[in-house]
Structure 1
Amino acid sequence: MTTTMSVSDLARVLFASPLQASENPSPDQVRVIIEDRIRACHEDLSGCTALVAQEAGDHPEAYETRMRWALREADRVYPVLASAT
C-alpha cells in the first residue's frame, strides 16, 4: 500500500495523525499509525492534505516543527522510499 506513496505523502499522513513526537514512537508505531490512517481514508490522501492545511493555518507556529518531525519519521521508517527519490 505505502510503496506507491512518496516520503512526503507519508509525512502528511503522519502529520494528520494523533501521534506526537513527544511520545518518542518506535518505527513500528509510526508504520502502524500511518497504515491505519491510510486505510481509514480509503487511500485517498485529500483528507490528510486538508487537515495539514487546516493545522498550518490554525497553528502556524507549530506547523514547521511538526512537519519536519513527520518528514524525519517517514524517512526513518521507510528508508527505501527515501533513497528512491
Structure 2
Amino acid sequence: MSVQLSEDFRTEALFVSDVQCSQQPTPELIRDAVESASARLGERGCAALVAQEFGEHPDTAVGRMRWARMAIQAAYR
C-alpha cells in the first residue's frame, strides 16, 4: 500500500480484522491484515466497527485494542 497509514488507523484496522491474539500472528500477517482491512473498509469503516464493538462488548474490546496497539508497534518498528 503506497499511502502511509497512521498508527491509530493501523491499530483500528487490526482490531477489526479476523486476526486473533491467540494465533500469535507474525508481523507479516499483521501487516497483511491491516492492508486488507484498510482497503476493504477504509478509515471510516474501521472506526465505525471499532465504535460498534466498544458499544456492544466493552469488556473484551479494551483488551483487544490493547493487544492491537502493541502488535502494531511491534510489526511496524
The alignment's TM-score, normalised by the length of structure 1, stands at 0.83
Which residue type is aligned with residue 25 of structure 1? P
Q: How far is the alpha carbon of 1:63 from its aligned partner?
A: 1.2
Q: Provide the identity percentage.
A: 36
The reply on whether 1:48 has 2:35 as its aligned counterpart is no
User: Alignment partner for residue 62 of structure 2, among 53, 61, 64?
Assistant: 64
Task: Give matches, 1:70-85, under 5 Å.
Answer: 70-79=68-77
Runs of 4+ in structure 1 deviating by more than 4 angstroms, as ranges, are: none
5+ residue gaps, structure 2, are none
Number of corresponding residues: 77
Q: 1:2 to 1:23 in 2, by over 3 A?
A: farther
The alignment's TM-score, normalised by the length of structure 2, stands at 0.91
5+ residue gaps, structure 1, are 80-85
Q: 1:10 to 1:2 in 2, by over 3 A?
A: farther
Match of 2:12 in 1: 12
